[in-house]
Amino acid sequence: MRSDTEFTALAEPFRPELLAHCYRMLGSIHEAEDLVQETYLRAWRAFDRFEGRSSLRRWLYAIATRTCLSALETRPRRPVPSGLGAPSDDHRLPLAPDEPAVPWLQPAPDALLGGDDPAAVVAGRTGVRLALIAALQLLPARQRAVLTLRDVLAFRTAEVAEMLGTTAAAVDGALRRARTRLAQAGPVEEDLAEPDEVARRALLDAYVDAFARADATALVNLLRADVELEMPPTPTWFTGRDTVLGFLSAGVLHPGLWRMIPSRANGQPACVVHRRTATGRYEAYGVQVLTLIGARVARITSFNDPSLVPTFGLAPALAG
């Protein structure tokens, strides 16, 4: 009988990339963490029966994928506001009521996904980009699994067929349908024109500084003319620099209201957001993820969910 120590030593190094895989499948970092735990429990129970006919990595991916597919049988897809309706063209109108019951897409901190995620080798940061994760949620679960295993993780068709207990022809058919559906959904590799790391950090720092000072003029120089702003759980979203800045200036930008700490999520610049309360303390508010094209911000996705803040390693409250 193999020991627990042996299992841990062999299997634990794969945890970050399995977390990234489950996140792609579920669109929720919280649910992905739970399913990785379930994957390791199932793998530990079956470890004595692992005969080594495939690599341990592929065996773990097979277990993780089947675990995700089982979970997705009872879970709806996770959208973003832009996937549910047209943008508002008037920032002066009241926002639609928040919809906390909707299982919104969540961001994932780079620190949890790890630097050894195979997607980082195969397709750079695109493997966990928000645009890709959102697009994957449009696919039926099995197509999502096939496309992720083949196009993101670069498993061979025969390997995917074995992992899913199906035929190579079925895998090829599912992959064609998934690729067609993603193509219809629009481009998902927005970082092709993203600036280098130094420029990304400089832009993020300038964005955080502009927010802290409530400087709308500074933001004008950071945002593209066609910038988009999404704010789940609010279904209302905006497009166009004038509309976005009009909304921010009217009710969001106030000096000292926000404390924003630079971070990274989904391979993109991000900031963890706390909001000042009447007591002077700063309480957890959410996470903003920026999509950059060229040297400007093309999309702001503001996940206004305080439960995300601890996932990024920060306390739910900060001193004033």
Q: 185: alpha, beta or left, given left = phi > 0 and alpha = psi -120 to 50?
A: alpha
Provide the residue type at 280 as one letter: G
Residues 78-115, buried b or exposed e (16+ Cβ, 10 A)? bbbbbbeeebbeebeeeeeeeeeeebbbbbbbbebbbe
For residue 265, what are the β-bridge partners?
109, 268
Residue 133 makes CB contacts below 8 A (sequence gap 6+) with: 23, 24, 27, 105, 108, 266
**What integer pLDDT is reported at residue 192 of this predicted model?**
52
Identify the H or E element spanning 302. Answer: strand 296-303
* Angstrom distance (rounded) from CA 57 to CA 64: 10
For residue 300, what are the β-bridge partners?
229, 290
* Angstrom distance (rounded) from CA 201 to CA 141: 35
Closest CA to 231 of 303, 138, 137: 303
**What integer pLDDT is reported at residue 273 of this predicted model?**
98
**What integer pLDDT is reported at residue 218 of this predicted model?**
96
Domain ranges of the chain: 4-189, 191-318
**What integer pLDDT is reported at residue 121 of this predicted model?**
41
Give the CA radius of gyration of the chain: 21
CATH class of the region 191-318: alpha beta
**What integer pLDDT is reported at residue 4 of this predicted model?**
82
Q: What is the mean pLDDT of each run of 10 residues along the chain (320 residues)?
A: 83 95 97 98 93 90 98 95 93 92 96 64 61 93 97 96 97 97 72 76 96 94 97 97 96 94 95 96 98 94 97 93
Closest CA to 42 of 58, 24, 64: 64
Closest CA to 32 of 100, 117, 98: 117
**What integer pLDDT is reported at residue 113 of this predicted model?**
87
